[in-house]
């Protein structure tokens, strides 16, 4: 696919012009193709800039109309519609993006510095090292199977927090977000709270739970941490209405 075709496909995705099957296939590509994901992000930023410009132009037009004979509320509506139509956009009542689509564009695994594991009981230390080794090789299925077969849930509190995050990520990578969510919820008051909150936001987006995703956005914003900027933009996408 050449550059022009790719740009056209990205615009079709953003403008909701794909069929359900095409949109599903494109979202799946976003999960694995980092270059495509970056290009979609850049295009979304460009659209955001166009909307900000449109809003400024609408306000300027409304200010210029003051003192005329047209009733203020008519002038306001006319100016906004005129500017939005001028850039080919108009606001509707449905959301522009599904949380899953935003997840596909923005999900990334945080860098987690692993704990050394000193002071662990022998059995826990053995499992801990197996999980670390598998995680470093991106063998997420191995981690998920080990967790389930050995009933590690009953011993979870004895593992380092970093290892618990590895287990959570392994479930996410296995598309088992519902199993990752309770693990992550137990970690939001630990030293890895920022990573846990970010992964929870990703889980809620992947499971298409817009309300819980927005609640997690507010929590991350209140903490003003390392994911603040990215989360603020995700919030805009979660709230953005469909333009048509």
Query: Secondary structure of 21-85 in the HEC alphabet?
Result: HHHHHHHHHHHHCHHHHHHHHHHHHHHHHHHHHHHHHHHHHHHHHCCCCCCHHHHHHHHHHHHHH
Task: Give me the pLDDT at residue 1, please.
Answer: 65
Diameter over CA atoms, the chain: 84
Question: Residue 23 class from Cβ within 10 Å (0-12 exposed, 13-18 middle, 19+ buried)?
Answer: middle
Task: Give me the pLDDT at residue 126, please.
Answer: 92
pTM of the model: 0.68
Alpha-carbon distance 127 to 69, whole Å? 78
Alpha-carbon distance 105 to 217, whole Å? 16
Q: What number of other Cβ atoms are within 10 A of residue 42's Cβ?
A: 11
Task: Give me the pLDDT at residue 158, please.
Answer: 92
Low-confidence ranges of the chain (pLDDT < 70): 1, 45, 47-93, 115-118, 242-244
Query: How far is CA 173 from each of CA 142, 167, 243, rounded to the nearest angstrom?
Result: 11, 10, 32
- What's the angle, vertex CA 199, arms to CA 194 and CA 205, rounded to 5? 130
Alpha-carbon distance 149 to 130, whole Å? 14
- What's the angle, vertex CA 197, arms to CA 196 and CA 203, rounded to 5? 90
Task: Give me the pLDDT at residue 53, please.
Answer: 62
């Amino acid at each position: 696919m050449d550059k022009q075709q790719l740009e056209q496909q990205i615009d079709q995705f953003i403008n909701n012009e794909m069929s359900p099957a095409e949109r599903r296939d494109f979202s799946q590509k976003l999960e694995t193709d980092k270059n495509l994901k970056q290009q979609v992000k850049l295009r979304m930023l460009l659209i955001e800039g166009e909307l900000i410009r449109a809003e400024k132009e609408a306000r300027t037009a409304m200010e210029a109309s003051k003192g005329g004979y047209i009733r203020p509320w008519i002038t306001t509506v006319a100016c906004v519609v005129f500017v939005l139509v001028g850039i080919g956009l108009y606001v509707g009542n449905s959301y522009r993006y599904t949380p899953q689509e935003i997840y596909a564009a923005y999900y990334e695994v945080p860098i987690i510095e692993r704990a050394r594991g000193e002071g662990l009981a022998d059995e826990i230390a053995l499992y801990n090292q197996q999980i670390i080794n598998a995680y470093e090789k991106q063998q997420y299925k191995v981690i998920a199977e080990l967790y389930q077969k050995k009933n590690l849930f009953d011993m979870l509190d004895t593992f380092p927090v970093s290892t618990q995050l590895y287990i959570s990520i392994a479930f996410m990578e296995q598309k088992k977000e519902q199993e990752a969510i309770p693990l992550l919820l137990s970690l939001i008051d630990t030293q890895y709270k920022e990573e846990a909150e970010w992964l929870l936001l990703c889980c809620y987006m992947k499971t298409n739970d817009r309300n819980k995703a927005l609640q997690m956005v507010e929590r991350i914003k209140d903490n003003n941490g390392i994911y603040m900027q990215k989360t603020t933009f995700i919030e805009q996408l979660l709230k953005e209405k469909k333009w048509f």
